[in-house]
Amino acid sequence: MSDLMDQQQYNCAVELTLSVIGGKWATIVLAHLKEGVHRYGALRRRIPAVSEKVLVQRLRGLEVSGLISRHSDGGNPPSVEYRLTPEGESLIPILEALHAWGEQRARRTGARIAPVAEAAGGGGR
Amino acid sequence: MSDLMDQQQYNCAVELTLSVIGGKWATIVLAHLKEGVHRYGALRRRIPAVSEKVLVQRLRGLEVSGLISRHSDGGNPPSVEYRLTPEGESLIPILEALHAWGEQRARRTGARIAPVAEAAGGGGR
DNA sequence: ACAAGAACTGACTTTGCGGTAAGCACCTGG
DNA sequence: CCAGGTGCTTACCGCAAAGTCAGTTCTTGT
């Protein structure tokens, strides 16, 4: 285990959690990854609003934090899979709570949530 | 019911949740408020790292979002209390999950979490 | 009279997260 | 041969959230 010793002083536990999964995209990436293993391109299509640069940045950051793991087959054309590590899986209660609350709030406020766009071509039935 | 109709298109429920409680401080404020009613000054002391400007901004924002309510006695010296609304209380599962995960992670990584500084004078032991 | 404390407000600056756009290395299909 | 797909990297830029710090109104304590 890489010991990522954190020398920062936090004034509450929530603050520490946010320092790991805070920001606009980290949690969203994790939320998709909790649904299973995904290739880089699959994540891109599921989160169309994020730019490639930021997506890669988040993936790297989450990897360093030990929440996700990256598996490349080294072949060509490249194929890279991302998945939650056991520690990443320990976030699932949070991710599900965030998801459930968002759905409830959407009902209350009338916000629209687009269905997940899974595949690139022709998947849409 | 104040209808805060949200015309934004979100691509997942988590994204919607983050649009409400995202940012560096909102969640932390809520986490303290879930422990009970707090006066403005008490929040300031419990979250020493936040500036007054930002604290007020967040409180106003959360009020507009319907998650907290503000009660001023109108007297002088002023006394203002903040508390979770019922909708704010619906966030408690999230807040507790964030808290629990932070504590676990602190144990794993050795991060230090300062105990909550409750009172202004003489609270230390 | 003066300082301190309550709960803010406002002007100004900074910073970092994120967005845009382009390029790269390699392979396959037409 | 060239477009298109895979999985990135790099340089540059912009903006909104956050930080700094001073000021404000009123009251109580000394």
Peptide bond before A77: cis, by omega within 30 degrees of 0? yes
Q: Which pLDDT tens digit goes with each residue over A21-69?
A: 999 999 999 999 999 999 999 999 999 999 999 999 999 999 999 999 9
Nucleotide D13 C1' to residue B77 CA (A): 47
Q: Which pLDDT tens digit goes with each residue over B12-63?
A: 999 999 999 999 999 999 999 999 999 999 999 999 999 999 999 999 999 9
Mean pLDDT of A107-113: 92
Mean pLDDT of A116-122: 57
In this complex, do B47 and A11 lie within 8 Å of one another by their Cβ atoms? Answer: yes
Nearest chain B residue to A13 by CA distance is B102
How many separate domains does chain A show?
A: 1
Residue B75: inside a domain: yes
Is the confidence at residue B125, as pLDDT, over 60? no
CA–CA dist B17, B34 (Å, integer): 17
Residue A117: inside a domain: no
Question: What number is the ipTM of this complex?
Answer: 0.89
Nucleotide with minimal C1' distance from the CA of B61 is D17
Q: Which phi and psi (to 5°) does residue A12 adopt?
A: -160, 165
Is there a contact between A6 and B16 (Cβ–Cβ < 8 Å)? no
Question: Which of A102-106, A116-120, B98-102 is least confident?
Answer: A116-120
Q: What pLDDT sits at residue A124?
A: 36
Q: Which pLDDT tens digit goes with each residue over B56-103?
A: 999 999 999 999 999 998 887 889 999 999 999 999 999 999 999 999
Residue A4: inside a domain: no
Nearest chain A residue to B101 by CA distance is A17
A&B contacts, CB < 8 Å? 159
Taking phi over 0 as left and psi of -120 to 50 as alpha, with beta for the rest, B84 belongs to: beta
Q: What pLDDT sits at residue A75?
A: 80
Nucleotide with minimal C1' distance from the CA of A23 is C17
Q: Which of B1, B9, B10, B11 to mutate to test the interface with A (most CBs of A within 10 A)?
A: B11
Residue A62: inside a domain: yes
- Chain C positions within 7 A of any protein Cβ atom are 5-11, 17-23, 26-28
Q: What pLDDT sits at residue A55?
A: 97
Structure tokens at A43: 């994540």
Of residues B99 and A76, more confidently modeled? B99
Q: What pLDDT sits at residue A63?
A: 96
Q: What is the CATH number of the domain that holds A79?
A: 1.10.10.10
Is the confidence at residue A123, as pLDDT, over 90? no
A3 CB closer than 7 A to any strand D atom = no
Q: Which phi and psi (to 5°) does residue A20 adopt?
A: -95, -45
Nucleotide C15 C1' to residue B80 CA (A): 32
Residue B87: inside a domain: yes
Q: What pLDDT sits at residue A76?
A: 79
Residue A22: inside a domain: yes
Please tell me the distance in Å from B1's CA to the nearest CA on chain A: 10
Is the confidence at residue B119, as pLDDT, over 80? no
Q: Please state, in angstroms and as integers, the Cα–Cα distance from residue B42 to each residue in A86, B33, B80, B87, B99, following that order.
A: 38, 10, 10, 22, 20
Q: How confident is the model at residue A15 (pLDDT cuts 50, 70, 90)?
A: very high
Instruction: Note the pTM of the prediction, 2 decimals.
Output: 0.90
Residue B45 domain boundaries: 12-109
Neighbours of B88 (CB within 10 A): 22
Of residues A120 and B123, more confidently modeled? A120
Q: How confident is the model at residue A3 (pLDDT cuts 50, 70, 90)?
A: low
